[in-house]
């Protein structure tokens, strides 16, 4: 029995990679310094793994930006538009960063590769872009260099690669249509060469990640898998392939997948524990089974008693020799090290004792292996007793359970999930109350957060400035932004969200049941990291969360100011969530807290309230058969949060980065009066789903791309609005940007919004 891992965090214990990359991009450090930082992080990672007693070291899991992009470069997949850069002397690592971030200099304007979410996680990868006649050329140098570094530690090293079929399925054809899988015959020889090289360098096991096996596959794709693995086996029977699957189970594919000519299969037994039995039944007796039993997506301590029972079942069927113990997926999705957390104010000691971050998870694997070998003696071993105690304590801890909240949820009734009247009646009532013009204009919530403001908040957090001084500064910002919006002529105003560092953390801090880390960073993309709160207990709203700021903003203007809240699904998806109750229970608790805030806003005279759900789509399970159950509770949670108001109170929701085709009915079931979506980058294509569906309520397709510093002209926004009006009846349309303006600067925002309002006025005159 051996322990191994599917990947480790790579931003560095103290986010050294983030700093080094950003300094390198700003021209403040040399490429050598950046490369040294990378090497230091890789070595530190291996040393942590060795100290924890891991048997096989991974390599190839480090990346300066994204491991899918690394794969593209290793295979020579570099779209045409990046080629002219060579003449400008931009190559190697610099070319790599240009592919990740784009290039706007010396008269060149080269857009980056598209970025999108990595399956159902909040990690984003760079989408490989293939030419119709794409050829592949192996460039293995950086992988071989990392291999040599790892092998210096004198342990078996297992390179980690994205498998050929998933690599193609992650990508898209750069031009028009076409199926990336047609490139498989051209791609496979490259993989075979790579395996040959690795073998020559002493590698015995290679892990090939094929996460697409956890999704619904077409017959074509399944055929591609069969072809790929029989080809690779035919070319390189000497090397052992570990086929890694994660983020879900193999489902119906399991009996055939375990027959493919690979030497081992890794299963994610956290997201799908049920697949253990079929795997034990179907796995040929000469193959290895990697048990993904330590949760790679969440931060809770492993329940040793439970995991040992799984290991035991596997050992009984397969014997000990061919069993591997591993986290369920790469540890990329959890923070580095719990030991860095020393502030018990955000993270109570008791909660800390329930947690395991990446480093602790490695120790758990080693311990599980030792305990598995200890047989019946283990019952007396302190590490098992300690573990059982923490698990029990988490189940029982009184401070995490609030009976009154649980009762409130148990007592919920159908009419708590419905507005008083259907949309048409509400729309008339809202029109009487708000007197909005045709094509009303609004924004999505946040306005630029300046450095000054961030510094102010940091000082306030440290206690260096008083509450009063901080609040006055915020009020000053709100005054400015209200005046600006009035001057520009927007119809529904916002307060700017200046008091928020983050749309989830701001609310989490005011609810019970959440804990906070100081160093719990997780890579979101490139150098961007997030620090998700930890939801450990029942959620209750302790006091008003936003009313003070919205009421203040409303007191400055006669135009309606929109209250701004984060929805239950997004609160859930962007936190580490408890694993001791179904997600839907937690979602309802969050929804009740938001419902109470919505009511408080309404009572304070706020007539428009937005509940953001940018993560609604991200929560969709990978397999179709599991989607209806998710959608049912996610819709219910939103309705619970939003339906407690009068007819004349207008509920908005906002979703970005979403593709709505398969979820139009659930979106309509949310029954928000207005939904705003991101649409400008797709030139309103995302709106088609709403048009085809004949979406009944109001909708604001974003006509201003806030991801770019470009200022859109009124002409171009008029064109987008006209296009929208051909898809959706004009009296259902709103006019707004794609998303919040937090990351833009003031001059860009002013000019763009002026143009946006001018565009709305021009289009109004056409109807």
Integer Cα distance of 118 and 247 in angstroms: 10
Alpha-carbon dihedral of residues 583, 587, 588, 589, nearest 10 degrees?
100
Comparing CB distances to ligand GLN, the nearer of 122 and 179 is 122
Integer Cα distance of 762 and 199 in angstroms: 67
Burial class of residue 470 in the structure, from the number of CB atoms within 10 Å of its CB (0-12 exposed, 13-18 middle, 19+ buried): middle
Integer Cα distance of 267 and 245 in angstroms: 6
Q: How many residues bind ligand GLN (CB under 6 A)?
A: 13
Residue 216 CB contacts under 8 Å (≥ 6 apart), including other chains = 622, 623, 624
Comparing CB distances to Zn ion, the nearer of 228 and 564 is 564
Comparing CB distances to Zn ion, the nearer of 594 and 600 is 594
Integer Cα distance of 332 and 8 in angstroms: 5
Residue 314 main-chain phi, psi, to 5 deg: -65, -45
Residue selected from 264, 560, 614, 712 as contacting ligand GLN according to rule CB under 6 A: 614
For residue 565, the minimal CB distance to ligand GLN (Å) is 9
For residue 549, the minimal CB distance to Zn ion (Å) is 20
Burial class of residue 706 in the structure, from the number of CB atoms within 10 Å of its CB (0-12 exposed, 13-18 middle, 19+ buried): buried
Among 2, 267, 359, which Cα is nearest to 155's? 2
For residue 649, the minimal CB distance to Zn ion (Å) is 22
Question: Is residue 43 a known part of a binding site?
Answer: no
Q: Which two tokens stand for residue 250?
A: 């193999």
Question: Is residue 59 a known part of a binding site?
Answer: no
Question: Is residue 633 a known part of a binding site?
Answer: no
Q: Which of the listed partners (ligand GLN, Zn ion, none) does 742 bind, with a CB threshold of 5 to 8 Å by partner kind?
A: ligand GLN
Instruction: Print burial letters for 288-322: b (CB count within 10 Å at least 16), e (below 16).
Output: bbbbbbbbbbbbbbbbbeebbebbeebeebbeeeb
Residue selected from 609, 637, 656, 689 as contacting Zn ion according to rule CB under 5 A: 656
- The site string for ligand GLN over 482-501 (x = CB under 6 A, - otherwise) reads ---------------x----
Residues annotated catalytic, as ranges:
707
Q: Return the range that interacts with ligand GLN (CB under 6 A); candidates 189-197, 370-378, 625-633, 739-747.
A: 739-747
Q: Return the range that interacts with Zn ion (CB under 5 A); candidates 90-98, 257-265, 395-403, 649-657.
A: 649-657
Integer Cα distance of 46 and 59 in angstroms: 9
Residue selected from 740, 749, 756, 763 as contacting ligand GLN according to rule CB under 6 A: 740
Residue selected from 17, 258, 592, 739 as contacting ligand GLN according to rule CB under 6 A: 739
Q: Which of the listed partners (Zn ion, ligand GLN, none) does 445 bind, with a CB threshold of 5 to 8 Å by partner kind?
A: ligand GLN
* 465 HSE (CA, 13 A, CB side): 13
Comparing CB distances to Zn ion, the nearer of 308 and 656 is 656
Does 742 help bind ligand GLN (rule: CB under 6 A)?
yes
Q: Which two tokens stand for residue 423?
A: 């949309």
For residue 497, the minimal CB distance to ligand GLN (Å) is 6
Integer Cα distance of 272 and 26 in angstroms: 44
Q: Which of the listed partners (Zn ion, ligand GLN, none) does 564 bind, with a CB threshold of 5 to 8 Å by partner kind?
A: ligand GLN
Among 735, 717, 659, which Cα is nearest to 690's? 659
Q: Which of the listed partners (ligand GLN, Zn ion, none) does 721 bind, with a CB threshold of 5 to 8 Å by partner kind?
A: none
Residue selected from 505, 612, 673, 738 as contacting ligand GLN according to rule CB under 6 A: 612
Residue 274 CB contacts under 8 Å (≥ 6 apart), including other chains = 249
Among 546, 543, 542, 545, which Cα is nearest to 478's? 546
Query: How distant, in Å, are the alpha carbons of 688, 735, 766 from that of 725?
Result: 11, 11, 11
Q: Decide: helix, strand or coil at residue 446.
A: strand
Q: Which of the listed partners (Zn ion, ligand GLN, none) does 70 bind, with a CB threshold of 5 to 8 Å by partner kind?
A: none
Among 454, 456, 501, 463, which Cα is nearest to 345's? 463
Residue selected from 41, 74, 169, 503 as contacting ligand GLN according to rule CB under 6 A: 503
Question: Is residue 706 a known part of a binding site?
Answer: no
Residue 668 CB contacts under 8 Å (≥ 6 apart), including other chains = 693, 695, 696, 697
**Where is 614: in which H helix or E strand?**
none
Comparing CB distances to Zn ion, the nearer of 614 and 619 is 614
Q: How many residues bind Zn ion (CB under 5 A)?
A: 3
Within 10 angstroms of residue 127's Cβ, the number of other Cβ atoms is 17
Integer Cα distance of 209 and 582 in angstroms: 28
Integer Cα distance of 35 and 149 in angstroms: 13
Question: Is residue 643 a known part of a binding site?
Answer: no
For residue 600, the minimal CB distance to ligand GLN (Å) is 18
567 within 8 A of 609, measured Cβ to Cβ: no
Integer Cα distance of 493 and 481 in angstroms: 9
Comparing CB distances to Zn ion, the nearer of 301 and 617 is 617
Handedness of CA 276, 280, 282, 286 (dihedral sign): positive
Query: How distant, in Å, are the alpha carbons of 307, 354, 385, 392 from that of 380?
Result: 17, 21, 7, 17
Does 203 help bind Zn ion (rule: CB under 5 A)?
no
Comparing CB distances to ligand GLN, the nearer of 394 and 742 is 742
Please list every residue from 550 through 579 that binds ligand GLN, using CB under 6 A.
Answer: 564
Handedness of CA 566, 570, 575, 578 (dihedral sign): positive
* 46 HSE (CA, 13 A, CB side): 25
* 390 HSE (CA, 13 A, CB side): 19
- The site string for ligand GLN over 643-682 (x = CB under 6 A, - otherwise) reads -----------x-x--------------------------
Does 739 help bind Zn ion (rule: CB under 5 A)?
yes
Q: Return the range that interacts with Zn ion (CB under 5 A); candidates 38-46, 127-135, 608-616, 753-761.
A: 608-616
- Find tokens 């003070």 and name the residue: 548
Comparing CB distances to ligand GLN, the nearer of 290 and 653 is 653
565 within 8 A of 546, measured Cβ to Cβ: yes
Comparing CB distances to ligand GLN, the nearer of 149 and 499 is 499
Question: Is residue 446 a known part of a binding site?
Answer: yes
Q: Return the range that interacts with ligand GLN (CB under 6 A); candidates 37-45, 46-54, 438-446, 551-559.
A: 438-446
Question: Is residue 41 a known part of a binding site?
Answer: no
Does 355 help bind ligand GLN (rule: CB under 6 A)?
no
616 within 8 A of 659, measured Cβ to Cβ: no
For residue 70, the minimal CB distance to ligand GLN (Å) is 27
Integer Cα distance of 278 and 252 in angstroms: 10
- The site string for Zn ion over 541-580 (x = CB under 5 A, - otherwise) reads ----------------------------------------
Q: Return the range that interacts with ligand GLN (CB under 6 A); candidates 441-449, 481-489, 546-554, 669-677.
A: 441-449
Question: Is residue 329 a known part of a binding site?
Answer: no
Comparing CB distances to ligand GLN, the nearer of 405 and 611 is 611
End-to-end CA separation in angstroms for the chain: 73
Does 269 help bind Zn ion (rule: CB under 5 A)?
no
Residue selected from 41, 99, 265, 444 as contacting ligand GLN according to rule CB under 6 A: 444
Q: Which of the listed partners (Zn ion, ligand GLN, none) does 526 bind, with a CB threshold of 5 to 8 Å by partner kind?
A: none
Question: Is residue 21 a known part of a binding site?
Answer: no
Binding-site annotation: residue ranges for L-homocysteine: 444-446, 497, 612
Binding-site annotation: residue ranges for 5-methyltetrahydropteroyltri-L-glutamate: 15-18, 117, 122, 528-529, 574, 618
Q: Provide the binding-site residues for Zn ion, judged by CB under 5 A.
A: 614, 656, 739
Binding-site annotation: residue ranges: 15-18, 117, 122, 444-446, 497, 528-529, 574, 612, 618, 654, 656, 669, 678, 739
Q: Provide the binding-site residues for ligand GLN, judged by CB under 6 A.
A: 444-446, 497, 503, 564, 612, 614, 654, 656, 739-740, 742
Binding-site annotation: residue ranges for Zn(2+): 654, 656, 669, 678, 739
Binding-site annotation: residue ranges for L-methionine: 444-446, 497, 612
């Amino acid at each position: 029995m051996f322990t191994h891992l599917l990947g480790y965090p790579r931003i560095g214990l103290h986010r050294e990679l983030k700093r080094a990359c950003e300094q390198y991009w700003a021209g403040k450090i040399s490429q050598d310094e950046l490369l040294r930082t990378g090497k230091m992080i890789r070595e530190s990672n291996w040393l942590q793994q060795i100290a924890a007693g891991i048997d096989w070291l991974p390599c190839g899991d480090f990346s300066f930006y994204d491991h899918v992009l690394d794969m593209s470069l290793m295979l020579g997949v570099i779209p045409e538009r990046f080629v002219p850069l060579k003449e400008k002397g931009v190559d190697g690592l610099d070319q790599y960063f240009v592919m990740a971030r784009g290039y706007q200099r010396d008269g060149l304007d080269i857009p980056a590769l598209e970025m999108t979410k990595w399956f159902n996680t909040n990690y984003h990868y760079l989408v490989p872009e293939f030419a119709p006649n794409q050829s592949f050329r192996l460039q293995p140098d950086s992988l071989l260099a990392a291999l040599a570094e790892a092998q210096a530690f004198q342990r078996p090293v297992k390179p980690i690669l994205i498998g050929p079929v998933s690599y193609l399925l992650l990508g898209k054809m750069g031009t028009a249509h076409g199926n990336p899988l047609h490139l498989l015959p051209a791609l496979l020889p490259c993989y075979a060469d790579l395996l040959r090289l690795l073998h020559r360098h002493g590698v015995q096991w290679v892990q090939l990640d094929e996460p697409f096996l956890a999704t619904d596959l077409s017959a074509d794709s399944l055929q591609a898998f069969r072809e790929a693995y029989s080809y690779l086996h035919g070319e390189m029977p000497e090397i052992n392939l570990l086929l890694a699957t994660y983020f879900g189970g193999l489902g119906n594919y399991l009996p055939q997948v375990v027959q493919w000519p690979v030497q081992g299969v890794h299963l994610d037994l956290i997201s799908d524990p049920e697949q253990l039995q079929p795997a034990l039944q179907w796995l040929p007796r000469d193959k290895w089974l990697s048990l993904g039993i330590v949760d790679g997506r969440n931060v809770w301590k492993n329940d040793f008693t439970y995991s040992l029972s799984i290991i035991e079942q596997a050992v009984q069927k397969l014997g000990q020799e061919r069993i591997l113990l591993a986290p369920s997926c790469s540890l990329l999705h959890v923070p580095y090290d719990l030991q860095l957390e020393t502030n018990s104010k955000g993270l109570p000691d008791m909660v800390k004792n329930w947690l395991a971050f990446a480093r602790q998870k490695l120790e758990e694997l080693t311990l599980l292996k030792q305990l598995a070998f200890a047989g019946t003696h283990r019952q007396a071993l302190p590490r098992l007793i300690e573990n059982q105690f923490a698990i029990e304590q988490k189940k029982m801890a009184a401070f995490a359970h609030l009976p009154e909240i649980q009762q409130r949820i148990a007592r919920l009734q159908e009419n708590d999930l419905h507005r008083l009247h259907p949309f048409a009646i509400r729309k008339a009532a809202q029109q009487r109350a708000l007197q909005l013009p045709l094509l009303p204009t609004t924004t999505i919530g946040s306005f630029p957060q300046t450095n000054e403001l961030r510094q102010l908040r940091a000082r306030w957090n440290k206690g260096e400035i008083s509450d009063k001084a901080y609040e006055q500064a915020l009020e000053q910002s709100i005054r400015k932004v209200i005046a600006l919006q009035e001057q520009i002529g927007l119809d529904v105003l916002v307060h700017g969200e200046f008091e928020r560092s983050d749309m989830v953390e701001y609310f989490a801090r005011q609810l019970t049941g959440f804990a906070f880390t100081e160093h719990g960073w997780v890579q979101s993309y490139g150098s961007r990291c997030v620090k998700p709160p930890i939801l450990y207990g029942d959620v209750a709203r302790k006091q008003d969360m936003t009313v003070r700021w919205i009421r203040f903003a409303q007191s400055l203007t006669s135009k309606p100011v929109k209250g701004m809240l984060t929805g239950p699904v997004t609160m859930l998806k962007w936190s580490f969530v408890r694993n001791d109750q179904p997600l839907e229970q937690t979602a309802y608790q969050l929804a009740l807290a938001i419902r109470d805030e919505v009511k408080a806003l309404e009572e304070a005279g706020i007539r428009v309230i937005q509940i953001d759900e940018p993560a609604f789509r991200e929560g969709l399970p990978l397999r179709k058969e599991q989607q209806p159950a998710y959608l049912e509770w996610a819709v219910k949670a939103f309705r619970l949060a939003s339906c407690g108001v009068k007819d004349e109170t207008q509920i908005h929701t906002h979703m970005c980065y979403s593709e709505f085709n398969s979820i139009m009915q659930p979106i309509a079931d949310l029954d928000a009066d207005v939904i705003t979506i991101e649409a400008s980058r797709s030139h309103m294509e995302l709106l088609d789903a709403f048009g085809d569906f004949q979406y009944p309520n109001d909708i604001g397709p974003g006509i201003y791309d806030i991801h770019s510093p470009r200022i859109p002209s009124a002409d171009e926004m008029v064109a987008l609005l006209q296009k929208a009006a051909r898809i959706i009846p004009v009296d259902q349309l709103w006019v707004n940007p794609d998303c919040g303006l937090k990351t833009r600067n003031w001059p860009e925002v002013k000019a763009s919004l002026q143009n946006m309002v001018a565009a709305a006025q021009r289009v109004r005159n056409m109807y």
